[in-house]
A and B are shown apart, each in its own frame.
Chain A
Amino acid sequence: DQQVKQNSPSLSVQEGRISILNCDYTNSMFDYFLWYKKYPAEGPTFLISISSIKDKNEDGRFTVFLNKSAKHLSLHIVPSQPGDSAVYFCAASAGEYGNKLVFGAGTILRVKS
C-alpha cells in the first residue's frame, strides 16, 4: 500500500503556462512534505518543502499548497520553463521516524517551447 501517491504519471504543459503537480497521502502522521526534482542520470534534488503547520510555501516560481483535511498537496510552477522538464517526486515524513522519507512514484513533467 503506497502511503504517498502521485496519480498522474506524466504532465505536458506549454512554456509560460502553469504546471500543477498533485500528490495524495494516506498516513495522518506525516507532518513534513517535500518535492524533489530529478533529471536523467542525476540524483533527485530538493525543490521545496512545507510543514503541516502551514498551508502554503512559496519560493520564486514554485509554490506548494497543503490541504491537511484532504490529505493532498500540490506543486505549482509559474511560469513553466523548458528547463523544468524533469521527474518530480513528492515525499513525506512523520516526526516519530526522524527524516525517513516516503516517496511517491513520480510525475514526468514536459514543458513544451
Chain B
Amino acid sequence: DADVTQTPRNRITKTGKRIMLECSQTKGHDRMYWYRQDPGLGLRLIYYSFDVKDINKGEISDGYSVSRQAQAKFSLSLESAIPNQTALYFCATSSGRWETQYFGPGTRLLVL
C-alpha cells in the first residue's frame, strides 16, 4: 500500500464550485505539504503544516484553504474554483528539516 495517498486522482469541475482534495499518510510524519505543478514552473508550495496545530501559507496560497484533521490527514480546498487553478496537485510529508519529502501520486484537476 502507498505511504501517501491522494483522492481523487482526477477531477473535473466547473468555475465557482467548491472542491476538496484529500491527502492521507501512513508514514507517521508530522510535516505535510500541498504543492501544485504547472508546465514550465515546477512545483510551487501552497500550504504546509508542521504539526496538527500549525498551518502556514506557502508561495501561492490565494484562493486555497487547508485543514489538518489529524496527523495523518491534510486536505486542500478550493472555495470557488477558477480555470487558472487547473493543475497537478501533490501532497507530501516529511519527518523533519533534513529529511526527504515523500510525495503522493498527485491529483489532476481541470476547472472548466
Partner-B contacts on A (CB < 8 A): 4, 6, 9, 32, 34, 36, 41-46, 49, 51, 89, 91, 95, 98-106
Contacts and interface: CB of A to CB of B under 8 A. Distances in A.
Contact of A104 (B42, B100, B101): B42
B62 interface: no
B104 A99 contact: no
A44 B41 contact: no
Contacts of B50: 98
B30 to A, nearest CB: 11
Which of B4, B50, B97: most chain A Cβ within 10 A? B97
A105 B15 CA distance: 27
A9 B40 CA distance: 8
Nearest 8 Cβ contacts at the A-B interface: A43-B103, A103-B42, A46-B100, A103-B43, A105-B42, A44-B103, A99-B97, A43-B105
Given A99-B31, A99-B96, A100-B58, A46 B102 contact: yes
Interface of B: 4, 31, 33, 35, 40-45, 48, 50, 58-59, 90, 92, 94, 96-106
A46 B100 CA distance: 7
B48 A100 contact: yes
B105 to A, nearest CB: 5
B101 A99 contact: yes
A99 B98 contact: yes
16 contacts: A6-B42, A9-B40, A42-B106, A45-B103, A46-B100, A46-B101, A49-B100, A91-B43, A98-B50, A98-B97, A99-B96, A99-B97, A100-B58, A101-B43, A103-B35, A103-B42
A101 B106 contact: no
Contacts of A104: 42
Given A89-B42, A103-B43, A106-B42, A41 B102 contact: no
B98 A32 contact: yes
A42 B41 CA distance: 18
Contacts of B99: 99
Contacts of A91: 43
A44 B98 contact: no
